[in-house]
A and B are shown apart, each in its own frame.
Chain A
Amino acid sequence: MSTTSVASEEDRSEASFISGNPLAYVPGVLLLIVIGLLGKYAQIGWNALAKHEHWTVPDIEYVLWAIVIGLLITNTVGVHRIFKPGVQTYEFWLKIGIVALGSRFVLGDVLKLGGTSLVQIVVDMAVAGAIIIFAARLFGLSGKLGSLLAIGTSICGVSAIIASKGAIRARNSEASYAIAAILALGAVALFTLPPLGHLIGLSDHEFGLWAGLAVDNTAETTATGYLFSEEAGKIAVLVKSTRNALIGFVVLGFALYWAARGEADQIAPGFTSKAKFVWEKFPKFVLGFLAVSAVATAGWLTKGQSTNLANVSKWAFLLTFAGVGLNTNFRELARTGWRPLVVAIIGLLVVATVSLGLVLLTSRVLGWGVHT
């Protein structure tokens, strides 16, 4: 899920399908399509104009155009409520895009990159989580808000916070604060990491790893990766999906911690109940991604059909990026107060620095990496 509007977490929990009437989704989905197409053709038009006028300007990617157009609309005229149900489906398109993107990965590379990034994720999570919990205490935030911020920053942004809220019995206000702070960071990362990556001279593979490790929400992670390059976007999606797959274990850990202190519901003893808990939190679209990757690895797709699936993925991501912009509302963010935001900014800086260090260490010193 994403971005900076601060709706109640109940609204967000099933944010992709918020209406019982299928027709209610049509206007918003059409808006996503229009903004996506505007973004795509703005890139083409901008490049043609620059060429015609002999300007030396950077190539502004369709990803950025789509996000900025959406962002301008939502922060100026606003999004009418008739569009809301359809606009909220952007997470649905994101996941379709991720599953279809499986066709561009050989299963062996997925397992290899997933395995190596798992080590980086665990180190990143442990260091960042500990620092965020410490910073939360330093700024006088509640223990549970600190836990939510640590979970959101180290794992999977808003979805992880929502998944944890019930398990650790956090208050609505704590979840809303954590959501707002995490969402603000997604927007910050989106606009800062790609230029930083170019400045540092990261390769596509390195930047994809960095974005996958450092950016909290899957939609923003995907956008950040694709803003750098298509190859970086693919790697970012894979690493982030690995991160997402760990959500159940992390939430279980925090739930057990708070239950032991008598401040959350007890989880039934035994392996089966814990395995059930982890499965309930597991992001099932990761299984779809692996299945499509297996199909591609088995050679069941012609070259043309493989390209078709890759293009399905690009179209789905285009709608996602439009949705990211439309859901980034800075006015609502400003209402949430500065302290959770400061802790989250510390979290972003820590996660970005630690993950960049890990990426450079593993790729340039240890020589880890795969080619996709």
Chain B
Amino acid sequence: MSEPSPKSPVEAPWYARVGVDWWATIVAGVITVLAVANLLPKIPW
């Protein structure tokens, strides 16, 4: 879900402040761009 921002005495690292939602979207987005460009290697299951 979205990135709640609790008050914490320790400042979160910068990548935590970006939020897991955006990171997941960015990573999956890059993978999708590779797939569109036909550059994604075969992923077996």
**A residues at B contact (CB < 8 Å):** 1, 9-10, 13-14, 16-20, 91-92, 94-96, 98-100, 103, 156, 159-160, 162-163, 165-166, 218, 244, 247-248, 280-285, 287-288, 291-292, 295, 300-302, 304-309, 311-312, 314-315
Contacts and interface: CB of A to CB of B under 8 A. Distances in A.
A284 B22 contact: yes
Contacts of B27: 96
B45 A95 contact: no
A17 B16 contact: yes
A100 B28 contact: yes
Nearest to B11: A20
Given A95-B24, A166-B6, A312 B36 contact: no
Nearest to A40: B45
B35 A284 contact: no
Nearest to B2: A281
Contact of B3 (A14, A218, A300): A14
B6 A9 contact: yes
A309 B45 contact: no
Interface in B9-23: 12-13, 15-16, 19-23
Contacts of A244: 1
Given A96-B24, A100-B28, A285-B24, A295 B36 contact: yes
B36 A301 contact: yes
B12 to A, nearest CB: 6
A163 B3 CA distance: 8
A169 to B, nearest CB: 12
Contacts, number: 126
Contact of B43 (A14, A300, A315): A315
Nearest to B27: A96
Interface residues of B, number: 32
A29 to B, nearest CB: 13
A13 B21 contact: no
Interface of B: 1-6, 8, 12-13, 15-16, 19-25, 27-29, 31-32, 35-36, 38, 40-45
B43 A308 contact: yes
Given A247-B2, A308-B43, A311-B44, A292 B32 contact: yes
8 contacts: A14-B16, A95-B21, A159-B1, A159-B2, A280-B3, A282-B2, A284-B19, A307-B43
Given A163-B4, A166-B6, A92 B20 contact: yes
B12 A284 contact: no
A13 B36 contact: no
Contacts of A285: 21, 24-25
A100 B20 contact: no
B34 to A, nearest CB: 9
A16 B17 CA distance: 11
Contacts of A306: 35
Contacts of A166: 4-6
A94 B25 CA distance: 11
B31 to A, nearest CB: 6
A10 B16 CA distance: 13
A215 to B, nearest CB: 15
Most chain A Cβ neighbours within 10 Å, of B5, B15, B28: B28
A312 B31 contact: yes
